[in-house]
Amino acid sequence: MAKAVVLLSVGRNPVSGRARMARAETRAIEMAVASFGREDVIGLHASPEISPVLREYLGLGLACIEHVQTRPGEDALPSLMERLRQIGPDLVFCGQAAETGRASGIVAYACADALQSPVIANVLSVTREGNDFLVVQGMGKGRHRQLRGPSPVVLAVDAVQDGAPIPSMANIRAGRIDVTHAAGNVAPTTSPALDVRPARVRPKKSSRGTSSTTRGSGVEHLDPESAAERILDYLRINNIIQ
């Protein structure tokens, strides 16, 4: 049985609107294959039809993608969770949020609930160390921290900002897509009714700050020690350093 599962979604190019590999999932595949090896990682996707994008994911190094076929209009989440329980992987990788649909970011937490495991968001990298995993988590404003713990754990991966990787044709030919059907006894979930209302006008943030952080108060005219002190004051005020 697979030691790691990467949940796959179909992304969308923000300019052309065409279907593409989701950036977060491409990064998740790279992490999973590097940690476990190609044969111990599978991709998992649920939808009524097989998207051509799935074959592109094979080109990134996945040996197998399992496509759970759902009925049109059916919520894919219950079927995905049921299949995850059956697999029982050590690690589950998924994107921080989808590029299409509601993009609620709830999938990682639903997986954690199904597997009764912790979830780590904003994952930048993961390293396997014996039976434990060392995870680097982004904290915002350039900060990060390292977390260590045993499996199972769900990792929500941040999308990469640079260019998308190019799928290997050899990997596409070597990989396979297995189709399974959603279990008929999976309890459906109902989506809550959305309350649609006009956006509330919010006040703009003031650009003024303290004398050391006011816009336009440069450090060019200061001597090196005074300039360094002003920069450190700014970093402390904005909680970038302690």
Give CA–CA dist 203/201, Å, rounded: 7
Answer yes or no: do 40 and 104 share one domain. Answer: yes
Q: Which domain holds residue 139?
A: 4-181
* pLDDT tens-place values along the chain, 242 residues long: 568 999 999 999 888 889 999 999 999 999 999 988 889 999 999 999 999 999 999 999 999 999 999 998 888 889 999 999 999 999 999 998 888 877 778 889 989 988 899 999 999 999 888 778 899 999 888 889 999 988 889 999 988 766 678 889 999 999 999 998 876 555 544 445 556 777 776 655 545 454 444 444 577 788 888 888 888 888 888 777 76
Task: For CA atoms 147, 65, 54, 61, give the dihedral sign.
Answer: positive
Residue 194 lies in a domain: no
Answer yes or no: do 151 and 225 share one domain. Answer: no
Residue 187 lies in a domain: no
CA neighbor of 25 nearest in space, from 39, 2, 5, 40: 5
Strand blocks (E) in the chain: 4-7, 10-12, 19-21, 41-47, 64-69, 91-95, 119-129, 132-140, 143-150, 153-157, 176-181
Residue 60 lies in a domain: yes
Answer yes or no: do 114 and 166 share one domain. Answer: yes
Give CA–CA dist 156/28, Å, rounded: 8
Residue 65 lies in a domain: yes
CATH number reported for the structural domain that contains residue 113 in this entry: 3.40.50.620
Whole-angstrom CA distances from 175 to 21, 25, 68, 168, 171 are: 16, 17, 17, 11, 6
Here the tokens at position 114 are 């199904």
Long-range contacts of 114-117 (CB under 8 A, 24+ apart): 114/81, 114/82, 114/84, 114/85, 115/84, 115/85, 115/88, 115/152, 115/154, 117/92, 117/151, 117/152, 117/153, 117/154
Answer yes or no: do 175 and 212 share one domain. Answer: no
Answer yes or no: do 158 and 223 share one domain. Answer: no
Residue 211 lies in a domain: yes
Can you give the pLDDT at residue 185?
53
Here the tokens at position 154 are 């769900």
Domain boundary among 149, 181, 213: 181
Answer yes or no: do 212 and 133 share one domain. Answer: no
What is the tally of structural domains in the chain? Answer: 2
Would you tell me how many other CB atoms lie within 10 Å of the CB of residue 59?
A: 20
Residue 196 lies in a domain: no
User: Which run of H or E residues covers position 190?
Assistant: none
Can you give the pLDDT at residue 101?
76
Can you give the pLDDT at residue 216?
46
Answer yes or no: do 14 and 133 share one domain. Answer: yes
Answer yes or no: do 17 and 80 share one domain. Answer: yes
pTM: 0.72
Answer yes or no: do 237 and 173 share one domain. Answer: no
Residue 149 lies in a domain: yes
> Could you give the angle at the alpha carbon of 175 between the alpha carbons of 173 and 179, nearest 5°?
120
User: Which run of H or E residues covers position 27?
Assistant: helix 23-36
Domain boundary among 133, 148, 181: 181
Residue 199 lies in a domain: no
Answer yes or no: do 174 and 117 share one domain. Answer: yes
Answer yes or no: do 217 and 114 share one domain. Answer: no
Answer yes or no: do 118 and 171 share one domain. Answer: yes
Provide the residue count of the chain: 242
